[in-house]
Amino acid sequence: MNRFGIHARPAALFVKTANNFQSEIMVEKDGLKVPGKSIIGLLTLEGYQGAVIRITALGADAAEALQALEELVRQKFFED
């Protein structure tokens, strides 16, 4: 959603948020899945503005993790 996509700063914010949860978090774009707690993994997705990503979480706090990460994406990683 943000105009710069997922570059280093948004990836770091995403990972920082994801690491607040015990659940396993995965991010998928165009069939490529990466761990949501890996900055390098997120950068390999090449998430440009308009790209569709899918975030999944598995674990005791999965719902809370998804809510927090969804809000981060909706807020455009606080860049706009």
Cβ(31)–Cβ(59) under 8 Å? Answer: no
Domain membership of residue 66 (yes or no) is: yes
Domain membership of residue 3 (yes or no) is: no
- Respond yes or no: is residue 52 known to be catalytic: no
Domain membership of residue 1 (yes or no) is: no
Maximum CA pair distance of the chain?
33
Catalytic residue from among 2, 4, 5, 7: 7
Q: How many domains does the chain have?
A: 1
Look up the domain containing 53 and give its range: 8-78
Task: Give the model confidence (pLDDT) of 34-46 as tens digits.
Answer: 999 999 999 998 8
pTM for this prediction: 0.88
Domain membership of residue 2 (yes or no) is: no
CATH number, domain of 54, equals 3.30.1340.10
Where does residue 69 rank: exposed (0-12), middle (13-18), buried (19+ CB within 10 A)? buried
pLDDT confidence of 47, banded at 50, 70, 90?
confident
